[in-house]
Structure 1
Amino acid sequence: MVRGFRLLERGEIEEIHSSTLRLLERTGVEVRNEEALSLLEENGCEVEERRVRIPGELVEECLRRAPSKIELHSRDGERRLLIGGDNVVYNPGSAAIYFLDYETGEIRRGTSRDLERLVRLADALRHIEAQSTAIVPSDVPEEVADLYRLYIVLRNSDKPIITGAFSKQGLIDMAEMLNAAVGGAEKLGRRPRAIFDCCPTSPLIWGDVTAQNLLDCADRGIPAEIIPAPQIGATSPATLAGTLLQSNAEILSGVVITQLRRAGAPVIYGGSPTLFDMRYVTARLGAIEAVMTACAGAEIGRHYGLPTHGYLGLSDSKVVDGQSCFESAIGIIMAALTGVNVVSGPGMLVEENCQSLEKLVIDDELCGMAYRLLEGIEVEGETLALEVIERVGPGGHFLAERHTMKHFRRERYIPSDVVCRLTVDAWRKAGSKDILTRARERVEKLLREHQPKPMPEERAQALEEVLDSIFQRYGLKRPEV
């Protein structure tokens, strides 16, 4: 396996860590949740109104309590997905509000139908190992938009899920939906199906909702993914090192909250840094500096022995074009080489705001190539093929060799038809199709042919009953999907 590509030396990480402890002890963080404030104060933190200063020894103790690996499970528990170690898991980015319509080419507000198609497509893709609640549907009332996204994913895929709540009640309701989908709270605690994103506000604030989400995840044994989203030069320092320091303080303060609530609560060291472009007053995720910061942040998390996450593999482009491909490729490959465990971003355009089905199938190929890269080159007697080379000799060929038949597929990543490897003449005869056309055709083929594994009837009924009760509580009518 290819390993060892690093942006930070060990000494640099240790300097960031020691500076983080000083920052948390001297400046602290603002916590806008009364329950979290009380918990922190009871455990030796200095609380002055909403400002919390955290002793360094407490931070390091809580880091020791947090688990180094997390297992996510498919709906039936038959498939396990390891989050931690050297494992890399790609999933579509989450919570886009726009959708690039592959039938019209227009960017518009996303709908429930768009999310359903994206989930079914991701279910079919080989290298997208987890789902996400990828679109906030505009045809669903705001009060239930977060949980309705989860409902669509649960009904259309059995892959593990990256999600998040928009409110305190939203997380509680979504946990009940997950309980129904897997067969009860006890099963969900033993075999988590989903990770919940919990995002501090940069600089150095834990809002009421996100802090409560952290507490509620810890109570239920649901893995929490702590994701700062600093804008480099705007809501964090203009230097990448300064942004890493600030983000580290935000994440470690969240780790403290989770571990004080429940020692051993699963937590993931995440990040979604952007580069603030002062020319256009925009925040750029496809910028190389944002990619570097996300990957370096994951290196810090790995140093602590925590599972890691990064928003990578997405693009600032507005369409599927050369820019979207090279920005996504850089993020996907860098994430693999630096060992980011959960990579959120394939399929996304316009920073984190738009989903594209064509881009998702292209990114799936990039993810496959990244996995092949991680396998590296195996050098030993059989693969060196010395005897085969001697037998074939000068001027021969290897096509008929048993060694070739044995290793042909094992050594190669074989892409789908999205990647064109035809001769020029064959390409012309096939219609001279560009990558966007080929991607669109693959989207249509997979949506037409792939059938997600159905949810068992009793669990589907339990999920429907939970959702009905939630809509009734709000006095809302369920949308048709």
Structure 2
Amino acid sequence: MINTSSTEHGTNVFKMFTEDQIQEIFYATFDVMRTVGFKILHGDARKMLKKAGAIVKDDSVKVPEHIVRECLRQAPKGWTIFDRTGKRAMEVTGRKSYFGTSTAAPNTMDAYTGEVRETLLDDIGNGAKIADALSNIDFVMPFGSSQDVPGDACDIFEFPVVVSNTTKPIVFIGYSGRGVELVYEMAAAVAGGLDSLQERPFVMAYPEPIAPMVYPDHVIDRLFAAADLKMHHRGSRNLRHFQ
């Protein structure tokens, strides 16, 4: 049975499932994590999970329900993201949704000539400037993946271009744990120090696993870097992308 639509926090909500159906999906997820598990390629992460009670065999990790529930219990129920000037920008909690630009396209259509060509740092700067001027855009990611800088260091070239052209919150791609650290160092310099950045964060890292359940070394390194610095990473259903 499909429930009627409603509106919460200014966001349109259309419920496709009953509460019982949602609970069935919830418990099925626990079963998948317990019986199928994940492929964790990071040795230190496997050690941490084993110490917590997960079942580890080679790079396969099966996570019992009680571990997941404890993680959910300790996880924050939401947080506040600020803009570059220190003003509140996004309350990432509940059913609130925010919209922003997306990233990673190696090619772009030149805004002046219509030519499809490789994405350059200048394009990312122009994209950030446009996103900054659009009232319906809440956060900014680099508009594409720049091809005129070394591929494994795009993060440390792209962040200065974006932060120079927008005051809005920034979600950045990190290509390594060290890259994430360096971006946060730059963000801390903009914010007036790491303490100020942690108090009023305006940047979020964007680490993602390989769908559906594979976690490479470099992804976990990026997660660890953000966690060690007590910073947020983008993994929330509250953030939506336009590309």
Corresponding residue SS for 1:87: coil
1:70 paired residue number: 79
1:24 to 9, 16, 33: 33
Name the amino acid aligned to 1:201: I
2:213 paired residue number: 204
1:158 paired residue number: 167
**Residues 178 and 225 of structure 2 are in contact (CA less than 8 Å); yes or no, is this contact kept in structure 1?**
no
- Which structure is higher in strand share? 2
1:173 paired residue number: 182
Please state how far the C-alpha of 1:45 moved relative to its aligned partner: 0.9
Corresponding residue SS for 1:81: strand
Corresponding residue SS for 2:108: strand
1:295 paired residue number: none
Describe the superposition over 1:162-206 as per-residue Cα deviations: whole angstroms up to 9, x where unpaired.
Answer: 112112221111111111111111111111111211211123111
Corresponding residue SS for 2:104: coil
Give me the whole-angstrom Cα distance separating, in 1, the residues matched to 2:40 and 2:209. Answer: 10
1:108 to 117, 137, 144: 117
**Residues 40 and 215 of structure 2 are in contact (CA less than 8 Å); yes or no, is this contact kept in structure 1?**
yes
Give me the whole-angstrom Cα distance separating, in 1, the residues matched to 2:220 and 2:18. Answer: 32
1:124 paired residue number: 133
Give me the whole-angstrom Cα distance separating, in 2, the residues matched to 1:53 and 1:95. Answer: 31
Structure 1: any 5+ residue segments left out of the alignment?
A: 227-267, 269-307, 309-340, 349-481
Please state how far the C-alpha of 1:35 moved relative to its aligned partner: 1.6
2:241 to 326, 334, 344: 344
Give me the whole-angstrom Cα distance separating, in 1, the residues matched to 2:152 and 2:171. Answer: 20
**Residues 80 and 91 of structure 2 are in contact (CA less than 8 Å); yes or no, is this contact kept in structure 1?**
yes
Alignment RMSD, CA only?
Answer: 1.5
Pairs aligned (count): 234
Name the amino acid aligned to 1:137: S
Give me the whole-angstrom Cα distance separating, in 2, the residues matched to 1:222 and 1:204. Answer: 24
Name the amino acid aligned to 1:198: P
Give me the whole-angstrom Cα distance separating, in 1, the residues matched to 2:88 and 2:72. Answer: 29
**Residues 179 and 185 of structure 1 are in contact (CA less than 8 Å); yes or no, is this contact kept in structure 2?**
yes
1:7 to 16, 21, 24: 16
Structure 2: any 5+ residue segments left out of the alignment?
A: 1-5
Percent identity (aligned): 26
2:145 paired residue number: 136
TM-score scaled by length of structure 2: 0.91
Give me the whole-angstrom Cα distance separating, in 2, the residues matched to 1:225 and 1:132. Answer: 11
Give me the whole-angstrom Cα distance separating, in 2, the residues matched to 1:134 and 1:78. Answer: 24
**Residues 135 and 149 of structure 1 are in contact (CA less than 8 Å); yes or no, is this contact kept in structure 2?**
no
Name the amino acid aligned to 2:45: A
- Which structure is higher in helix share? 1
Describe the superposition over 1:400-444 as per-residue Cα deviations: whole angstroms up to 9, x where unpaired.
Answer: xxxxxxxxxxxxxxxxxxxxxxxxxxxxxxxxxxxxxxxxxxxxx
Give me the whole-angstrom Cα distance separating, in 1, the residues matched to 2:56 and 2:232. Answer: 27
**Residues 129 and 165 of structure 2 are in contact (CA less than 8 Å); yes or no, is this contact kept in structure 1?**
yes
Give me the whole-angstrom Cα distance separating, in 1, the residues matched to 2:137 and 2:103. Answer: 13
Give me the whole-angstrom Cα distance separating, in 1, the residues matched to 2:18 and 2:190. Answer: 44
The structure-2 alpha-carbon separation of the partners of 1:147 and 1:13, relative to structure 1 and needing over 3 Å to count, comes to farther
Please state how far the C-alpha of 1:343 moved relative to its aligned partner: 1.2
Name the amino acid aligned to 1:111: L
Give me the whole-angstrom Cα distance separating, in 1, the residues matched to 2:151 and 2:178. Answer: 13
2:52 paired residue number: 43
Please state how far the C-alpha of 1:76 moved relative to its aligned partner: 2.1
**Residues 75 and 182 of structure 1 are in contact (CA less than 8 Å); yes or no, is this contact kept in structure 2?**
yes
Give me the whole-angstrom Cα distance separating, in 2, the residues matched to 1:21 and 1:197. Answer: 25
**Residues 89 and 129 of structure 1 are in contact (CA less than 8 Å); yes or no, is this contact kept in structure 2?**
yes
Answer yes or no: is 1:95 the counterpart of 2:104.
yes
Describe the superposition over 1:216-273 as per-residue Cα deviations: whole angstroms up to 9, x where unpaired.
Answer: 21221221223xxxxxxxxxxxxxxxxxxxxxxxxxxxxxxxxxxxxxxxxx2xxxxx
Regions of 4+ moved over 4 Å:
none
Between structure 1 and structure 2, the one with the greater Rg is 1
Give me the whole-angstrom Cα distance separating, in 2, the residues matched to 1:97 and 1:177. Answer: 24
**Residues 80 and 88 of structure 2 are in contact (CA less than 8 Å); yes or no, is this contact kept in structure 1?**
no
Give me the whole-angstrom Cα distance separating, in 2, the residues matched to 1:41 and 1:84. Answer: 31
**Residues 89 and 168 of structure 2 are in contact (CA less than 8 Å); yes or no, is this contact kept in structure 1?**
no
**Residues 128 and 165 of structure 2 are in contact (CA less than 8 Å); yes or no, is this contact kept in structure 1?**
yes
Answer yes or no: is 1:83 the counterpart of 2:97.
no
Corresponding residue SS for 2:22: helix
TM-score scaled by length of structure 1: 0.47
Give me the whole-angstrom Cα distance separating, in 2, the residues matched to 1:193 and 1:147. Answer: 16
